[in-house]
């Protein structure tokens, strides 16, 4: 009788230990799975260098630096490369002074034939490798500053997603993106976004998250 009780106790103890072992194995397995899910896969990163935007470049023109700042925030946030559109004859502060009759921008504004501004180059290194092109510019008289026209006309955006952005004192982005899309006739142009002259990294980050 005593021997039977002893062997029953041993069996109960053995079953309890087996159950404890199973529980521990299950818990360990699920905790190691969640760690694996939280860690970035380096292989995945290598094929998606800029995350959801694929391989991205920020192309921009700037007269006084406001758009350049936004371009830099986008590049910082997404890991995109940058490319500055530079006219052969750069705009000085006097050139940009729209309050003075006869200034360069006023002459170009009044005579459309003067807006075909030659650029130092329209070729972006590695252009074919980009999936997404952010294109930025200041608003001049409610449209994109025209040096951007020269860049857009000279490039083929086929197969690329194009995301316009601008800075301005108060004007909205209006039709500026659509007009640029019409000029090239290629690419999948998304709705653009206007930033104030003093946009912050946080403003840019919020916009990128909303895309």
Ligand X SMILES: Cc1cc2nc3c(=O)[nH]c(=O)nc-3n(C[C@H](O)[C@H](O)[C@H](O)COP(=O)(O)O)c2cc1C
Interaction between residue 201 and ligand X (CB under 6 A): no
Interaction between residue 99 and ligand X (CB under 6 A): no
Among residues 98, 100, 114, 156, which is the contact residue for ligand X, using CB under 6 A?
A: 98
Q: 100-114 burial string, b = 16+ CB within 10 Å, else e?
A: eeebbbbebbeeeee
Cα separation, 103 vs 91, in Å, equals 11
Interaction between residue 51 and ligand X (CB under 6 A): no
Q: How far is the CB of 146 from ligand X (least distance, A)?
A: 10
Q: How far is the CB of 56 from ligand X (least distance, A)?
A: 20
Cα separation, 211 vs 207, in Å, equals 7
Cα separation, 83 vs 129, in Å, equals 14
Could you write out the three-class secondary structure of 131-142? CEEEEEEEEECC
56 within 8 A of 131, measured Cβ to Cβ: yes
Site string for ligand X, 58-77 (x = CB under 6 A): ----xxxxxxx---------
Interaction between residue 139 and ligand X (CB under 6 A): yes
Distance between terminal CA atoms of the chain? Answer: 77
DSSP secondary structure letter of residue 90: P
Which residue's CB is nearer to ligand X, number 11 or number 141? 141
Interaction between residue 197 and ligand X (CB under 6 A): yes
Which residue's CB is nearer to ligand X, number 65 or number 90? 65
Binding residues for ligand X, rule: CB under 6 A, are 62-68, 96, 98, 105, 138-142, 167-171, 197
């Amino acid at each position: 009788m005593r021997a039977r009780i002893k062997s029953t106790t041993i069996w109960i103890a053995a079953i309890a230990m087996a159950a404890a072992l199973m529980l521990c194995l299950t818990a360990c397995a699920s905790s190691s799975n969640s760690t694996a899910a939280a860690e970035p896969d380096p292989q995945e990163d290598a094929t998606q260098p800029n995350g959801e935007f694929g391989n991205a470049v920020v192309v921009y023109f700037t007269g006084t630096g406001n758009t350049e700042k936004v371009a830099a925030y986008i590049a910082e946030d997404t890991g995109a490369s940058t490319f500055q559109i530079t006219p052969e004859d750069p705009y000085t502060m006097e050139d940009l002074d729209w309050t003075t009759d006869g200034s360069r921008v006023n002459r170009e504004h009044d005579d459309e034939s003067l807006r075909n501004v030659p650029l130092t180059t329209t070729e972006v290194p590695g252009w074919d490798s980009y999936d997404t092109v952010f294109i930025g510019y200041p608003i001049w008289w409610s449209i994109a500053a025209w040096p951007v026209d020269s860049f857009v006309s000279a490039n083929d955006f086929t197969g690329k997603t194009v995301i316009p952005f601008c800075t301005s004192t108060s004007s909205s982005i209006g039709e500026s993106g659509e007009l640029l899309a019409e000029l090239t006739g290629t690419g999948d142009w998304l709705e653009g976004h206007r930033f104030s002259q003093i946009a912050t990294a946080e403003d840019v980050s919020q916009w990128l998250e909303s895309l």
